A and B are shown apart, each in its own frame.
Chain A
Amino acid sequence: MTADRRRSPLGGFATAFARLDTGSGGRLRIAERPYPRQLDVRAEPTARAAAEAAVGMALPSTPNRINRSGDRTALWLGPDEWLVVGGGGDVPAVPESAGWGLVDVSAQRTAVVLSGTAVELLAYGCALDLDRMGPDWCAQTTLARAGVILWDSATDEICVLVRASFAAYLAAWLLDAATELIG
């Protein structure tokens, strides 16, 4: 019973995303990167080092910045909250009274990566000034009417983490917003 029977929230959009790639002549690409490991990490200041040891990487201190380490990225979500995206292996156990906590939220959201004219596309529904975010940025905001986490996943690429139940809405919205960009 080890067969992978998972279904990603946007599996049904693969064809539409591919059509967009063709329609835009490769200028705009949208793709789901399903099943990213996501750990929501909370830590008191004194327990920060312990939390970092548990997740195996440094957590950013600057608001709306990310740290990268191998295949993992830590996103700053709040003064005591981070999201570690990527990596694998067992979910670290939290000792009692540790002063830090952790929840596996890998299935809570799916990842959609936008490349090409991503900033132009997001401008249809995102109030942030994405041209001025600087390097290694992340943000929690709304895109259209869905809450999202945006981050600088690679050069010329923005990753949108969206809750599974909102994913189909957001995908439909993104495809609609691209109407003119592919015209």
Chain B
Amino acid sequence: MSQPFRHGDGDRIDRTRPLTFRFGDRVLTGFGGDTLASALLANGVHEVGRSVDLGRPRGIVAAGVEEPSALVQIEAPFPEPMLTATTVELYDGLVAQPLAGRGLLSSEPDPARYDAVWAHCEVLVVGAGPAGLAAATDAARPGQRVMLVDERPPGPGEATPAGVRRLSRTTVVGYYDDNFLVAIERRTDHLGPAAPPNAARQRVWRIRAGRVVLATGAHERSIPFPDNDRPGIMLAGAALTYLRCYGVLVGRRALVYTTNDSAYPVADALRSAGAEVVVADTRLGSRGVPPAGNPPAADLTGARITEVFGEQRVICVRVGDRRLDVDVVLVSGGFNPVLHLYSQAGGRLRYDEDLGALLPDGCRQRVDVVGTAAGEGLPRCGPPPLPEPSAADSRTFVDLARDVTIADVRRATSAGLRSVEHIKRYTTAGTAHDQGKTSGLLTSAAVAAALGSSAAEVGVTTARPPYVPVAFATLAGRDRGDLFDPIRITPMHGWHVAHGATFENVGQWKRAWYYPREGEDMAAAVARECRAARTGVAMMDVSTLGKIDVQGPDAAEFLDRLYTNLMSTLSVGTVRYGVMCGVDGMVLDDGTAARLGPERYLVTTTTGNAALVLDWMEEWLQTEWPRLRVWCTSVTEQWATVALVGPAARGVLARVAPDLAVDTASFPFMRWRDTTVAGLPARVFRISFSGELAYEINVASWNGHALWEELVAAGAADGIVPYGTEAMHVLRAEKGYPIVGQDTDGTVTPDDLGLGWAIRKSDKDFVGRRSLSRPDTARPDRKQLVGLLPEDPARHLVEGAHIVERAPLGPPPVPYLGHVTSSYFSVALDRTFALALVASGRQRIGTRLFATLDGELIPVEVTGPVLYDPKGARRDG
């Protein structure tokens, strides 16, 4: 007979909707509205897995998220590890496996969609039980947004109060400052394979609430006794839930084992359903005031379970001197009001001796706790009774999920631990998927007993988000694949793609790396691109460089304070290279400053540091120099910029810029001109990052693509070649131009880079100046930028390789002289070369050192950093 333990109509199941599912190797049936746990119990299945460390059989303990033990792995439709059987809604075709405490990650990609949404409300009610519904109804009024969030599926006949937005299957998992709460909505999990593919399976709700009402109820707790983890031993309240909500009788011969009055109605209900029930009350004498109509007293008082028989399923228990044949033991050790969110919000808790429970005791946020969560209606109950110390302590569990026993707690206190927080970390009690929802106070009671203290004094560990486990895929939401992080592109990006460029990531930017032609590998493409720049003409998209408009009466003074060299002495129409230091004197960024007018400059930054430099400027203006009359505006994307480089660049520019006098006398190095290029309003700079004759042509970014195509066409006669960042790196390295962030690492001064010439000699102060005069920054043996030429001109050093003085290495410690920062093959030099930061590097020029490479020591000659055209003869073409 299928589902032999089905009894009557549970109010959550739909008997007209039979469902078939698999658990392990068994094919079973259940009904719509079942959880996996209720369907298993209806089929008489209690044991669902094994415990994590001890491998003991474990069963279903609870009926909700507090379940410590019934962990399953879902196999289909999509593999999902470690879910509690009590929270998995049953659907047709569900395939689940028992677990031994740990799940298995799927090797398949998760095909489901996950997303996140923000919501705002004046009142957020968490929990749609009677207290929550009342609070929501009370709060609902025109103009006031009320949200009611509940972790369960909508119950039958449960009406949502008018004017209330209700989210079901939604668990609030985090409560942060300023009444900001995070909830997870399981939107299509319960549909199984029938879930629509375009609907987000789970959704993260980020909710900002004016006021929060927590109507989160209470979790029943267990009672420690030997072998209290056997399948068939479960919480009394859970048995009632299974009966009333799911029409499942969890057993036919039950022992109800309780410390309080709440279990008596459970016993009554089970008896009415036809079960034989014995009630064993741990208290001496009768219970307090018997509810009307109930049997007046317990069958056994002052009772203690001392022995449990049956391994895969409880079959018999010893209570005092009696042996009782049972198939379930229903336990109630009192209740823990669910105050995890309240604690996360910063709420204080106090221990109530009457209820044997922690209750809310004030919070700095606008939050109220109502109903059972505030202790309303909870039975009087002492702290959990603990067995006398015995050999059975190592089988007496406080935390089923982590296999933590009374003996473990005692071992922790014997080791000198006193705080529950420390004992938690030592024993791992309360650290599992359930965060000790049913066991927290048991652990505290065990600690108190071991220390001769009280649960009130010991307290419980602090609840932390998330309240229930959350899948990483849910948190990732849409921030995956191409949307993982913004991909920033230039106006010419489409051209680069169409022309086969490979790309490299520079911060969030995609920059063309090189443009391989048919049959070319990277080395060949880069060599061709470099050759074009040195011998003909080449062009590069440099739109990503940071650009900041600095204007105002004090613009010149401001830049003088930030750059190591003077910018106030620039005349309008000229450009200067500049270096910026942090307050520590280390290089922060470099770039150029062009004087656009008496009170206006355009400064450039490295691609990766554009936002950092603007923030740096604003910080100084707003916090240190508010009297300076300067405004900084990012114009990075206002302009698209093309570098036109090589001896033939002048001819190409002349063709497209008829109004511009391009000869060296009319347009010298480090000048800028406004003109028209290819019919587009443009600003042309004569600056060079390669040592060759070069122009940087700026147009409004929406004209960038047109400019690029015009230059490609105009340069065709000269064989113009587009080049990418790799060739740019080689060209600049041949000239010894450092790249901030590649050849520097925050410990490098301008002088270390050989840029001492860019540090002003005048007394005028600049950021970092004082640090540059510290003895350490003036040390002669600092690491300095030098060139390295491997003795074998075909050997290519690896960036990051260590530099040492001699080979073979002497006994350790081997003095480490520095490292390779850049390494390339140079077409112009017809050999490999590298840049490196080497201790006393400039004094070592001409000497022989060694670079590490795959366990080898490669001999290299130290040179100055400028390896190509050291006299700068090529600058004017």
Contacts from A to B (Cβ < 8 Å):
1-3, 5-9, 12, 34-35, 40, 42, 44, 80-81, 94, 96-97, 99, 101, 103-109, 123-129, 131-132, 144-146, 163-166, 168-170, 172-173, 176-177, 179-180, 183
**CB-based nearest B residue for A124:** B117
Report whether A107 and B118 are in contact in the complex, using a CB–CB cutoff of 8 Å: no
* Contact of B857 with A by CB under 8 A: no
Q: How far is the CA of A138 from the CA of B676 in the complex (A)?
A: 36
Report whether B635 and A108 are in contact in the complex, using a CB–CB cutoff of 8 Å: yes
* Contact of B599 with A by CB under 8 A: yes
Report whether A105 and B702 are in contact in the complex, using a CB–CB cutoff of 8 Å: no
Q: With A105-B635, A106-B700, A109-B637 in contact, is A96–B553 under 8 Å at CB?
A: yes
A165 touches which of B196, B479, B509 (Cβ 8 Å): B509
Report whether B635 and A164 are in contact in the complex, using a CB–CB cutoff of 8 Å: no
Closest chain-B Cβ to A150's Cβ sits at a distance in Å of: 13
- The 23 sampled A-B contact pairs (Cβ below 8 Å) are A6-B706, A7-B491, A7-B706, A9-B701, A94-B599, A94-B600, A103-B549, A103-B551, A103-B638, A106-B638, A108-B637, A108-B701, A109-B637, A124-B478, A125-B118, A131-B120, A145-B485, A163-B636, A165-B490, A168-B487, A173-B478, A179-B113, A180-B199
Report whether A1 and B116 are in contact in the complex, using a CB–CB cutoff of 8 Å: no
* Contact of B274 with A by CB under 8 A: no
Report whether B639 and A107 are in contact in the complex, using a CB–CB cutoff of 8 Å: yes
A/B pair count, beta carbons within 8 Å? 134
Q: 1/0 per residue B604-615: CB within 8 Å of A?
A: 000000000000
Report whether A108 and B634 are in contact in the complex, using a CB–CB cutoff of 8 Å: yes
Q: 1/0 per residue B481-507: CB within 8 Å of A?
A: 011011111110010000000000000
Q: How far is the CA of A145 from the CA of B485 in the complex (A)?
A: 7
Q: How far is the CA of A95 from the CA of B487 in the complex (A)?
A: 39
Report whether A123 and B119 are in contact in the complex, using a CB–CB cutoff of 8 Å: yes
**CB-based nearest A residue for B679:** A1
* Contact of B633 with A by CB under 8 A: yes
Task: Give the total of B residues in contact with A, Cβ under 8 Å.
Answer: 54
* Contact of B725 with A by CB under 8 A: no
Q: Which of A3, A126, A166 has the most CB of B within 10 A?
A: A166
Report whether A183 and B199 are in contact in the complex, using a CB–CB cutoff of 8 Å: yes
Q: How far is the CA of A123 from the CA of B485 in the complex (A)?
A: 19
Q: How far is the CA of A8 from the CA of B551 in the complex (A)?
A: 28
Report whether A183 and B487 are in contact in the complex, using a CB–CB cutoff of 8 Å: no
Report whether A164 and B637 are in contact in the complex, using a CB–CB cutoff of 8 Å: yes
Q: With A96-B599, A145-B479, A179-B198 in contact, is A169–B487 under 8 Å at CB?
A: yes
Q: How far is the CA of A46 from the CA of B589 in the complex (A)?
A: 35
**CB-based nearest B residue for A6:** B702
Report whether B629 and A44 are in contact in the complex, using a CB–CB cutoff of 8 Å: yes
* Contact of B705 with A by CB under 8 A: yes
Q: How far is the CA of A47 from the CA of B262 in the complex (A)?
A: 75
Contacts from B to A (Cβ < 8 Å):
113, 115-120, 196, 198-200, 206, 208, 478-479, 482-483, 485-491, 494, 509, 544, 549, 551-553, 598-600, 629, 631, 633-639, 676, 678-680, 700-706
A124-B478, A180-B200 known, 5 other contacts, Cβ within 8 Å: A94-B599, A103-B551, A103-B638, A124-B115, A166-B488
Report whether A169 and B598 are in contact in the complex, using a CB–CB cutoff of 8 Å: no
Report whether A97 and B702 are in contact in the complex, using a CB–CB cutoff of 8 Å: no
Provide the residues of chain B in CB contact with A132, threshold 8 Å: 120
Provide the residues of chain B in CB contact with A170, threshold 8 Å: 486
Provide the residues of chain B in CB contact with A128, threshold 8 Å: 118
Provide the residues of chain B in CB contact with A176, threshold 8 Å: 478, 483
Q: With A5-B703, A7-B705 in contact, is A101–B631 under 8 Å at CB?
A: yes
Q: How far is the CA of A92 from the CA of B200 in the complex (A)?
A: 50
Closest chain-B Cβ to A65's Cβ sits at a distance in Å of: 20
Q: How far is the CA of A76 from the CA of B678 in the complex (A)?
A: 37
Top 4 closest A-B pairs, CB basis?
A1-B679, A5-B706, A165-B488, A42-B631
Q: With A94-B551, A179-B113 in contact, is A105–B638 under 8 Å at CB?
A: yes
Provide the residues of chain A in CB contact with B635, threshold 8 Å: 103, 105, 108
Closest chain-A Cβ to B606's Cβ sits at a distance in Å of: 16
Q: How far is the CA of A107 from the CA of B641 in the complex (A)?
A: 13
Report whether B633 and A146 are in contact in the complex, using a CB–CB cutoff of 8 Å: no
Report whether A40 and B479 are in contact in the complex, using a CB–CB cutoff of 8 Å: no
Q: How far is the CA of A109 from the CA of B486 in the complex (A)?
A: 15
**CB-based nearest B residue for A80:** B631
A183 touches which of B198, B208, B491, B706 (Cβ 8 Å): B198
Q: How far is the CA of A1 from the CA of B658 in the complex (A)?
A: 13
Provide the residues of chain B in CB contact with A105, threshold 8 Å: 633, 635, 638
Report whether B116 and A129 are in contact in the complex, using a CB–CB cutoff of 8 Å: no
A107 touches which of B487, B598, B638 (Cβ 8 Å): B638
Report whether A99 and B633 are in contact in the complex, using a CB–CB cutoff of 8 Å: no
Provide the residues of chain A in CB contact with B120, threshold 8 Å: 129, 131-132
Q: Which of A5, A81, A97, A123 has the most CB of B within 10 A?
A: A5
Q: How far is the CA of A3 from the CA of B118 in the complex (A)?
A: 45
Provide the residues of chain A in CB contact with B200, threshold 8 Å: 180
Report whether B494 and A12 are in contact in the complex, using a CB–CB cutoff of 8 Å: yes
Q: Which of B113, B635, B637, B680 has the most CB of A within 10 A?
A: B637
Report whether B483 and A173 are in contact in the complex, using a CB–CB cutoff of 8 Å: yes
Provide the residues of chain A in CB contact with B199, threshold 8 Å: 180, 183
Q: How far is the CA of A136 from the CA of B604 in the complex (A)?
A: 36
Q: With A6-B702, A165-B489 in contact, is A108–B483 under 8 Å at CB?
A: no
Report whether B491 and A172 are in contact in the complex, using a CB–CB cutoff of 8 Å: no
Provide the residues of chain A in CB contact with B637, threshold 8 Å: 107-109, 163-165
Report whether A40 and B703 are in contact in the complex, using a CB–CB cutoff of 8 Å: no
Closest chain-B Cβ to A170's Cβ sits at a distance in Å of: 8
Q: With A123-B119, A124-B115, A131-B120 in contact, is A40–B487 under 8 Å at CB?
A: no
Provide the residues of chain B in CB contact with A103, threshold 8 Å: 549, 551, 633, 635, 638
**CB-based nearest B residue for A35:** B702
Q: Which of A7, A97, A106 has the most CB of B within 10 A?
A: A7
Closest chain-B Cβ to A93's Cβ sits at a distance in Å of: 10
Provide the residues of chain B in CB contact with A145, threshold 8 Å: 479, 485-486
Q: How far is the CA of A132 from the CA of B116 in the complex (A)?
A: 20
Report whether A8 and B638 are in contact in the complex, using a CB–CB cutoff of 8 Å: no
Closest chain-B Cβ to A106's Cβ sits at a distance in Å of: 7
Provide the residues of chain A in CB contact with B676, threshold 8 Å: 1
**CB-based nearest B residue for A168:** B489
Report whether B483 and A144 are in contact in the complex, using a CB–CB cutoff of 8 Å: yes
Closest chain-B Cβ to A60's Cβ sits at a distance in Å of: 18
Closest chain-B Cβ to A46's Cβ sits at a distance in Å of: 11
Report whether A183 and B629 are in contact in the complex, using a CB–CB cutoff of 8 Å: no
**CB-based nearest B residue for A42:** B631
Q: How far is the CA of A146 from the CA of B479 in the complex (A)?
A: 12
Closest chain-B Cβ to A126's Cβ sits at a distance in Å of: 7
Provide the residues of chain A in CB contact with B636, threshold 8 Å: 108, 163, 165
Closest chain-B Cβ to A112's Cβ sits at a distance in Å of: 15
Q: How far is the CA of A125 from the CA of B115 in the complex (A)?
A: 10
